[in-house]
Structure 1
């Protein structure tokens, strides 16, 4: 049985789950409190990060490497376009959300509001929260500009870039940190991707001590 070692509010775990779900690849989910540095988990990934995927007799880490492996071994339905230019744009946006968005927004909001309590590292830093609340407006505006020109973030077909973005936003939406009324085009995009079967298990996630926002699992939000 394929196994994904993950944490529910890890956007990188969610990105891999979305790719697996879209490809209809069944996996057993094992929740991993990776910050506790369990020796068994460190043997699976010495970097001490989730996700880690056990599949095809391999133990794989790093969400980008895992998603690319899934795409290469299970090419249908495609999450990367055929052309080099189009693939470059998808990978650029995956990097944008995995790096820039995550550092400027997710770590400042979900990181402060949720992870500090879970990991026992103290109370939220209000300076970080304010910075994240400001930064997310810039990112939402940028996404809306892309979606004004394209059906999906990287082009006219849904790709891995959409899953990278949705993985980050879904973590923030859990704590109601996304203003979906800021851009109708962005809300429509999220409603489309949120309605996909691959999203179902993510919408069922619950983190002890934190109730999801009332609209979190609502497809008609």
Structure 2
């Protein structure tokens, strides 16, 4: 049986979301690296939006992390990624979408890209003024919302779901860019993120990310 292939780079929160989801489902896969700064033409044919990840399941290719995770959840009939109960499943999908839209907008380009990708991989200087403006003005409202909806204990639902994986992946990248949730201002969010990090499926990637980034 052909193994599933994921195209992308592990440090992408969208790719990591799919990889962790595959681990939760206990599905074997191979990761095929893609240079996101110089996408090959053959990749563009399977990713019309020019984004990672793309999943290849025995010739059936699927772009977009959310679509991929929904496909995996349905294919393996496990309901481990999305709960069965309608309201719980809807909440998970909403918070997944919120993270994919809002967290990437404040923790992605103006933070992770500026502080880590530019100096480490592109040999460019960080625009620290842009970073500080983002931290001061744009990150707080997004974290205020998460603080208002996340639980004081446990996860978004009874067990780890795609919502937790998605939110955790973005904050993990933020931590690599020297940004941590202020526990004094957002205590529920800070505790929640710490619980997500403690899960074995996250610990696996935290350790391998450190090797990629050569962090101690």
Gaps of 5+ in 1: 215-221
Runs ≥4 in structure 1, deviation > 6 angstroms? none
For residue 35 of structure 1, what is the aligned residue in structure 2? 37
- Which digits, 9 at most, give the CA deviation of each residue in 1:12-37, with x for residues without a partner? 01111111111111111122112212
Return the TM-score normalized by structure 2.
Answer: 0.84
Select the residue among 77, 98, 102 that pairs with 1:75: 77
Question: Which segment is superposed worse, 11-20 or 136-145?
Answer: 136-145
Cα distance in structure 1, aligned partners of 2:128 and 2:176:
19
Call closer, same or farther: CA 1:68–1:171 in 2, change over 3 Å: same
Pairwise CA distance, 1:101:
1.4
Select the residue among 179, 182, 188 that pairs with 1:185: 188
Pairwise CA distance, 1:171:
0.9
Select the residue among 188, 196, 199 that pairs with 2:199: 196
Question: Which segment is superposed worse, 20-29 or 115-124?
Answer: 115-124
Cα distance in structure 2, aligned partners of 1:16 and 1:177:
23
Say how many residue pairs are matched. 211
SS at match of 1:34: coil
Contact 2:5 2:57 survives alignment (8 Å): yes
- Which digits, 9 at most, give the CA deviation of each residue in 1:57-76, with x for residues without a partner? 31111111101101111232
For residue 158 of structure 1, what is the aligned residue in structure 2? 160
SS at match of 1:42: helix
Question: Which segment is superposed worse, 179-188 or 11-20?
Answer: 179-188
Cα distance in structure 1, aligned partners of 2:30 and 2:55:
10
Return the TM-score normalized by structure 1.
Answer: 0.82
**Does 2:110 match 1:105?**
no
Contact 2:6 2:30 survives alignment (8 Å): yes
